[in-house]
Amino acid sequence: MTMNGNSAGGLGHGYYFEDLSVGMEARYAKKITDKDVLAFADLSGDVNPVHLSDDFAAGTLFKKRIAHGFLTGSLFSTVLGTKLPGPGCIYLSQTMKFRAPVYIGDEVVATLRITGLDTDKARATLACDCAVNGKTVLDGEAVMMVDRRTPRQ
């Protein structure tokens, strides 16, 4: 994968600010695997045994291992960076409220919807939701800086 301006992982540029409208929506679904949890623990350094030890997790209110909350939350970034607004946008902020655990083997569906557009600053606000079997497990709001098709003078 080259990042020389000619190829951004093969995705090209995402939406420009002028192409966005309130109500636009995109989603991404991912089944959370044991390999994902182990890789996230290694990458992040979060080796909390509730994520990694069956024995430890059995003694918690969850009764079995759970995925890292930020692993689930990273699916928001997947949608933002690859679909809506897509390649070229820049994260400015993200709120997250964890509502229910995500277990290994769960399929998480991240759905993001544009709720506001700030024309002066070229910012998009998006409602973010991750759900398992239709039940919200994580929600929040993202604010993104989005390229204009033509720079303002």
| Residues 92-134: tens digit of each pLDDT | 999 999 999 999 999 999 999 999 999 999 999 999 999 999 9
Backbone angles phi, psi at 93, to 5 degrees: -160, 160
Q: Of the candidates 115, 82, 112, 111, which has an alpha carbon nearest to the alpha carbon of residue 14? A: 82
The answer as to whether 11 is a domain residue is no
Name 130's Cβ contacts closer than 8 Å, sequence gap at least 6: 72, 73, 75, 76, 102, 108, 109, 110, 111, 136, 137, 138, 139
Reading the block at residue 58, the tokens are 């059995």
Task: Name the one residue in this structure whose structure tokens are 């946008």.
Answer: 89
Model-level pTM? 0.89
Q: What is the pLDDT averaged over residues 9-25? A: 89
Report the Cα–Cα distance between both ends of the chain, in Å, rounded.
Answer: 34
The answer as to whether 141 is a domain residue is yes
The answer as to whether 3 is a domain residue is no
Residue 88: HSE in the Cβ half-sphere, 13 Å Cα cutoff: 20
The answer as to whether 150 is a domain residue is no
The answer as to whether 16 is a domain residue is no
CATH of the domain at 85: 3.10.129.10
The answer as to whether 5 is a domain residue is no
Name 37's Cβ contacts closer than 8 Å, sequence gap at least 6: 51, 52, 65, 67, 68, 71, 104
3-state helix, strand, coil in the chain (%, to 5): 25, 35, 40
Alpha helices in 8-140 (DSSP H): 34-44, 49-52, 54-58, 69-82
| Residues 131-145: tens digit of each pLDDT | 999 999 999 999 999
Q: How many domains would you assign to the chain?
A: 1
